[in-house]
Structure 1
């Protein structure tokens, strides 16, 4: 089990009108950057099992807490979390280190930011490795209306947008319980309960399945969100329709070597159209749920290292 006290000491890096808390290892490997992007409700700490191995393989490993998370900036304005801002932070982070481009790795919402970075700043992305969330093609109608029509008003994407502040308050008041109930694996299949799933998790007294991480590891996430609250991260969701507008005239095809890693037990469906939008993609599935790099750390790390070794420049 990972020792939480051995995680690198962060630095605060000014970027794009904000400040990011950045953890790094392998700075001696300058010139070979790899940027790891966490999801929601996560933290740079979610990459703890991959960082040392990537540094040992010759990479300069850069792991930011993105805006709204950890000790990074959490602006008050919702629009300060749109995809222009989130991808702009990553580009500015490359500028800070003097890099023209980098390999980007994303999980969950972090994967969405990486996909979008390749769309909006293709010259800054060398290769892509994304976990859990496949490329999401732009829908004919704005995303929240699209999701509401399919999944209903209790879908948490929809709820976050239609009822601002409601979920934030419940999650903030039950941060430890919410995270304990969320970071689970091998959860028995069951019909979804009525109501909004994230609020249900925050209010549930008994977790299902098995814990993804140790109590000491979970404490890192809990301490971070008890300090910041959840609104910053939830504001990412509140920009989905704004992002839909931003991406309206952008070439939707990503022309970068890509590895897509799915969790076989994840609730997020695999994409049938992925090769159409990401033609240079390799796909791998691991026997785990949604929290891929934490549930199956050794397999995830090895998959990343093997794929990178196979895609070294000739």
Structure 2
């Protein structure tokens, strides 16, 4: 599905010791800010289907390519991608626009950043909408340690941490093939495969299922990662145990009005007791996989706009 409008032209904005490539629309609707946070391995462009409906509903839409993506800064130091830096970028972006608070919407890793915004900077989050990644409970074990015990050392989160640089190089060598193989829908269910999932996808010569977007749209992602390489965005994963430490003394209960939209075919399961941690939440689901904005843009927009109008 190709858009019948131009995606906004970006501006480079200096905040929090980095430059962020920011796409915005609906500036005339100042006072109704909504900040959209992409996931991995995505791009601000992943929100293209949401821009005009939100602008027409009266919102000032602000979409950063977060640090490590697109034309935004890619710091070399791994710890520059921890949750304090990622949420600090969004706080600084609000300060730049002189907004006290905003609605935040995140998908995948972007949802993790939005959940963390509400934990670390609750006064800056008016409402939040998260797609395809439920709230992550901070358990007794650091996240990577828990995942290694539960899923094994070939699980991609663990592999990224335990074998730094290995997957990065393979994804960099096979950027187009990896992204073409990843952005699929209606993929046949298969048993657990040997090896590391993302490396297997990067090396697979034949994609499964059907593409979720046109070659023209996918080319935006491909050119973005050919510029940055994958290491900066994978460095987000390399801070998960550090983030676990940083959140040690933060109250785990989130009080903001929240909408969670799950994909029924997504491999990421919903959190059954999410209301224990996010009491003011509405949960919806769509017949979609993980790339929910690509697969069901119109239905998703309807759910989002109806919830925002409540």
TM-score normalised by structure 1 residue count: 0.98
**Contact 1:264 1:288 (8 Å CA) reproduced:** yes
Aligned to 2:243: 243
User: For 1:226-305, what aligned pairs fall within 5 Å after superposition?
Assistant: 226-305=226-305
- Cα distance in 1, alignment partners of residues 72 and 26 from structure 2: 22
Aligned to 1:29: 29
Question: What is the CA deviation profile of residues 176-233 of structure 1, one whole-angstrom value per residue up to 9, with x for unaligned ones?
Answer: 0000000000001010210000000000000000000001001110011011111111
- Deviation, 1:85, is 0.1
Aligned to 1:166: 166
- Cα distance in 2, alignment partners of residues 300 and 96 from structure 1: 29
SS in 2 for 1:188: coil
- Cα distance in 2, alignment partners of residues 285 and 122 from structure 1: 26
Aligned to 2:6: 6
- Deviation, 1:4, is 8.6
- Cα distance in 2, alignment partners of residues 139 and 240 from structure 1: 13
Point out the more displaced range, 1-10 or 26-35: 1-10
Across the aligned residues of Structure 1 and Structure 2, the Cα RMSD in angstroms comes to 0.8
Aligned to 2:309: 309
**Contact 2:144 2:157 (8 Å CA) reproduced:** yes
- Deviation, 1:5, is 7.9
SS in 1 for 2:235: helix
User: For 1:115-126, what aligned pairs fall within 5 Å after superposition?
Assistant: 115-126=115-126
- Cα distance in 1, alignment partners of residues 273 and 75 from structure 2: 35
Aligned to 2:175: 175
**Contact 1:21 1:71 (8 Å CA) reproduced:** yes
**Contact 1:4 1:217 (8 Å CA) reproduced:** no
Question: What is the CA deviation profile of residues 44-76 of structure 1, one whole-angstrom value per residue up to 9, with x for unaligned ones?
Answer: 000000001100000000000000000001000
**Contact 2:67 2:86 (8 Å CA) reproduced:** yes
The alignment status of 1:149 with 2:149, answered yes or no, reads yes
Aligned to 1:88: 88
- Cα distance in 2, alignment partners of residues 64 and 213 from structure 1: 21
TM-score normalised by structure 2 residue count: 0.99
Aligned to 1:39: 39
SS in 2 for 1:128: strand
**Contact 1:263 1:285 (8 Å CA) reproduced:** yes
- Cα distance in 1, alignment partners of residues 251 and 52 from structure 2: 36
Unaligned runs of 5+ in 1: none
**Contact 1:101 1:123 (8 Å CA) reproduced:** yes
SS in 2 for 1:148: helix
SS in 2 for 1:238: helix
- Change in Cα spacing, 1:138 to 1:4, as seen in structure 2 (3 Å) is farther
- Cα distance in 2, alignment partners of residues 63 and 109 from structure 1: 14
Aligned to 2:190: 190
- Cα distance in 2, alignment partners of residues 235 and 228 from structure 1: 12
- Deviation, 1:161, is 0.2
- Cα distance in 2, alignment partners of residues 124 and 101 from structure 1: 4
